[in-house]
């Protein structure tokens, strides 16, 4: 038995030192702080974008609704839809117009048996929201669809946007732009185009004014006049033709055509008589 032989010592497993663990912990904390900053910054940016979108979306939707109604303008004297009228509103703190016309954007259903023609009215009115200032104005769209009743039916109001400080319209008659319109005295009864202008109050703490919305809409509808109106328009057209001398020229052309037809008939008769004599 060899008692003097020295036994080999066991090798110890390698491990991280305290300094390495501290450096790794600090690096991990820095990475987490950077991720946290970027993540919460993105969340705040999204919240601000959503809040701004919630404020601006009703404004653009209101403008799109006005454009859709104006594009579908309907005018018919036989259907009691013979009004296109706009004048400045009174008694308001903002410059605003009041517009009334007919269009065919109404949807039919079992509870609304009347046709899709409806009377539309746009105007500004004080807000009904108690949380807002009494001076705040809302853009209102009032709709009347039943024209067959004898009593006065109250229109159905829809508040499209709030915080409106300006609602003005301009009308193009084919030559000049006008600030007002009345189909009872205008010629033509419908404008060729309508310019819409909407302005809104500040909606944030910085009191920064939101951009105003401006849009021009072309009126493509042709007015349907009554029989008396069509007769008057036909007489006016005949008067214009007589003044320009076109009917006289047309009559002379017709007379020449009749003379040519008579000559042709005479030649045909003479040919027939000559043929009979040869037989």
Q: How many residues does the chain have?
A: 279
CA distances from 103 to 11, 68, 90, 256 (A): 95, 9, 25, 50
Beta bridge partners of 119: 102, 144
State the Cα angle at 85 between 98 and 63, rounded to 5°.
Answer: 50
Residue 30 domain-assigned (yes or no): no
201, β-bridge pairs: none
Q: Give me the number of domains the chain comprises.
A: 1
Which pair of tokens denotes residue 178? 């006008």
Answer whether residue 122 is part of any domain.
Answer: yes
Q: Is position 26 within any domain?
A: no
Q: What is the pLDDT of residue 75?
A: 92
Residue 243, domain member (yes or no): no
Positions of the chain with pLDDT lower than 50, given as ranges: 1, 247-259, 261-279
| DSSP result, 210-238 | PPPEEEEEE--PPPB--HHHHHHHHHHHH
**Which residues, including other chains, have CB under 8 Å from residue 143's CB and lie 6 or more apart?**
106, 118, 119, 120, 121, 155, 156, 158
Strand, helix or coil at 19?
A: helix
Question: Helix and strand tally (H, E) in the chain?
Answer: 3, 10
Domain range for 189 is 63-228
Is the Cβ–Cβ distance between 170 and 179 less than 8 Å? yes
Provide the pLDDT for residue 54. Answer: 81
What's the confidence (pLDDT) of residue 16? 77
- Beta carbons within 10 angstroms of residue 178's beta carbon: 15
Q: Is residue 14 part of a domain?
A: no
The answer to whether the CB of 174 falls within 8 A of the CB of 154 is no
Domain membership of residue 245 (yes or no) is: no
- Computed on alpha carbons and rounded to an integer, the radius of gyration of the chain in Å comes to 40
pTM of the model: 0.66
Token pair for residue 154? 């109250």
Give residue 230's pLDDT: 53
Indicate whether 24 belongs to any domain: no
36 located within any domain = no
Q: Please give the DSSP secondary-structure letter assigned to residue 80.
A: T
């Amino acid at each position: 038995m060899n008692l003097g032989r020295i036994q080999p010592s066991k090798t110890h497993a390698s491990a991280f030192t305290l300094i390495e663990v501290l450096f790794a912990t600090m690096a991990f904390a820095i990475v987490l702080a950077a991720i946290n900053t970027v993540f919460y910054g993105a969340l705040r940016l999204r919240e601000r974008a959503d809040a701004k979108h919630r404020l601006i979306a009703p404004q653009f939707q209101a403008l799109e609704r006005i454009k859709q109604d104006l594009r579908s303008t309907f005018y018919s004297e036989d259907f009691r839809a013979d009004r296109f009228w706009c004048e400045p509103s009174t008694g308001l703190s903002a410059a605003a117009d009041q517009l009334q016309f007919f269009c065919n954007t109404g949807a039919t259903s079992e509870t609304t048996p009347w046709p899709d023609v409806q009377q539309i009215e746009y105007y500004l009115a004080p807000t009904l929201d108690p949380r807002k200032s009494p001076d705040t104005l809302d853009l209102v769209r009032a709709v009347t669809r039943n024209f067959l009743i004898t009593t006065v039916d109250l229109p159905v109001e829809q508040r499209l946007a709030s915080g409106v400080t300006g609602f003005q319209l301009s009308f193009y008659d084919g030559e000049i732009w006008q600030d007002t319109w009345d189909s009872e005295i205008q010629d033509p009864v419908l404008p060729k185009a309508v310019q819409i202008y909407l302005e809104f109050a500040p909606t944030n703490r910085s009191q920064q004014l939101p951009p105003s919305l401006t849009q021009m809409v072309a009126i493509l509808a042709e007015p349907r006049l009554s029989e008396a109106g069509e007769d008057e328009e036909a007489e006016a057209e005949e008067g214009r033709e007589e003044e320009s001398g076109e009917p006289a020229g047309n009559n002379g052309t017709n007379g020449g055509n009749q003379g040519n037809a008579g000559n042709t008939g005479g030649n045909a008769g003479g040919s027939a008589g000559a043929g009979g004599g040869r037989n």
